[in-house]
Chains A and B, each alone.
Chain A
Amino acid sequence: MAAGATYTPIATQTLGSAAATVTFSSIPSTYTDLVLVSSVTNSSSGSNYSLSFRFNGDTGSNYSDTYLYGNGSSAVSGRESGTFVNIGNTTSITGTFTPTITHIMNYANTTTYKTVMGRGNNSGAYVMGAVGLWRSTAAITSMVIAPEFSANNWNAGSTFTLYGLAAA
């Protein structure tokens, strides 16, 4: 197999205008894992929002996450549950985009709940590692990504690329 053939871009979105959510749909089940690489800013007035995920349109209370972050003065860990998974933390600083790398393992299986692991890198606020769980055995075929499903948007220029990793 050619080098790099297992790190395949499935889809990429670059926002030409602000958007409340970004959706990847019809995700093929032919890979082993997914990796989402995002570079974003949010539209709030100086607030930081997580990169939040919902899968397959599920808006129920079927999500939880555990996180560890540093804010420049202290290290904090905690956990939460609710209607979406939070991974990382994003800034609203103009011109400084927050990179977040999120791994979704074994996303196509129909036996186990789905786990998510990510690194968020908001240099103005938080450096964060987080893991999340979607309590569903369904294969992931779509995902919606929003700034905590709040009233805020992703700003224009934000980018999202979904890669597929194949084990063989």
Chain B
Amino acid sequence: MANTYALIASNIVGSGGASSVTFSSISQTYTDLVVKVSSRTARSTGSAADQIAIAFNGSNTYTAKILNSGSPFGTPQSYSSSSLALETDSANNTANTFNSGEIYITNYTSTNNKSYSTDSVAENNSGSGDYLVALSLMAGSATLTSGITSITLTSTTSNNFVQYSSFYLYGIKNS
């Protein structure tokens, strides 16, 4: 049976942390790509969680629509953005709490612009701290007509990913 949901690469952050995570030399033999994220950053200033910026082939400029739980939470909101980001927990969140996130990229080898979706949550084991929790759905498009060969993830506040943050890249084949 064809291996249609295949692990291409993984990156689990070690004890020193990591300023970024990059998947490079991505094979062009799949139909879609999926990145699964469980992350936390070292951000400790202020009282907020953090976000992850995503770059395809070194570019991180996009057209995006975002729907999220809002800050303060309880009031869902939507906005447009020119950057793509996942919500992630930070050092401001409850200890040992990591986000869950997924990036789905269809037809990543095509000569059309690249469209994708992200789902992500950052949670906090506390009733306070509105800016520590977030649920986000995103629709994005990159003006990129070459195949995606690299994906780089970084904290939007330039903080490191902490130990045990994990990133898995899967390839999906339609035949």
Contact = CB atoms under 8 A, between A and B. Distances in A.
B157 interface: no
A6 B2 CA distance: 10
Interface stretch (A19-27, A79-87, A115-123, A135-143): A115-123
B104 interface: yes
Nearest to B141: A123
Interface stretch (A55-63, A94-102, A103-111, A144-152): A94-102
A126 B65 contact: yes
B139 A4 contact: no
Contacts of A134: none
Contact of B5 (A4, A72, A99): A4
Main secondary structure of the interface of A (DSSP, over half): strand
A4 B112 CA distance: 27
Contacts of A28: none
B101 interface: no
Contact of A2 (B1, B138, B174): B1
A163 B174 CA distance: 8
A119 B117 contact: yes
Contacts of B174: 9, 12, 37, 159, 161
B3 interface: yes
B2 A9 contact: yes
B79 A73 contact: yes
B117 A99 contact: yes
Contacts of B68: 70
Nearest to A122: B139
Contacts of A37: 32, 106, 172, 174
Interface of B: 1-7, 31-32, 62-68, 70, 76-80, 104-107, 112-113, 115-117, 119, 137-141, 145, 172-175
Pick the 7 closest A-B CB pairs, nearest first.
A70-B78, A70-B67, A121-B139, A75-B76, A7-B5, A72-B80, A127-B139
